[in-house]
Structure 1
């Protein structure tokens, strides 16, 4: 029976290298069936599917904890009781969460003498459609380098979402990934 950890690890391992895929497409006909399978896998990984944001964010963070990538970081979850659903490419959103959490953990390692606390917060879209569901990550770390933020922002934009980053004067960062609102829910 597959566990969440092995499923997530397998999903990471199945990421498709576009250049390798293009090389496979030029192989002789006997490689055609394998190429079609890879193309199907690539399409599946990019397909938008209903995703429960809180569960997915927690799954990614727990995977990173299991891999000892968040050693010394206290993680606190603030997830709503009701499910917060969004339709998006699951793998791409996992990569955004993983990249933000890794950057946050790295920024906290630069700060000594303070507890290293990361808060993972999921917020539902508002009822009027003014904003979509949000993933908020708060940490007690140093400000991030612009190169790191640019890489994360690029992934977020591919999802059609918006990234907001604030560095607090007292120390720490607030990252907000706001997904687009589905539609006006109450009108």
Structure 2
């Protein structure tokens, strides 16, 4: 009887497992490989870390790709709403044919799509409108579009459009001349 009571009153021994901590248990190698292969970092935590000196500076020329894009917009809108009697000067003193120009109202409509304030667009117009006709030539329109893009990228407007920008617009595509080939 004594031995029977002893078995009933006896408490069970503590379990041999360790207490659970706040750390997650280690994963098996297969599970870890699967997770690392299928995990994609959609948003980097610090996107600009170690890239301080890499920012792009103000460029002083229009790239071939940009020029082609702007010329496409110009080609789709040239000659619209333009008649010789709308322009401020005589047809004989036009820099190019009227059909090769874009009217100021058309330019205003296109440029206003950038959502820049009207004061900025007016400054850009004044920078590129060299002939004061009320219409822009292809080169003037392309430079104006480029200045709008530069403004949207956060660059300030220059006081005067650099000559290198005008030269990059007038450059013939596919032909490059070095200084040494001219000598």
Select the structure that is richer in strand. Answer: 1
The structure number with the bigger radius of gyration is 2
After TM superposition, the score normalised by the length of structure 1 is 0.26
After TM superposition, the score normalised by the length of structure 2 is 0.26
Work out which structure has the larger RCO, using CA pairs closer than 8 Å and 6 or more positions apart in sequence: 2
Select the structure that is richer in helix. Answer: 2
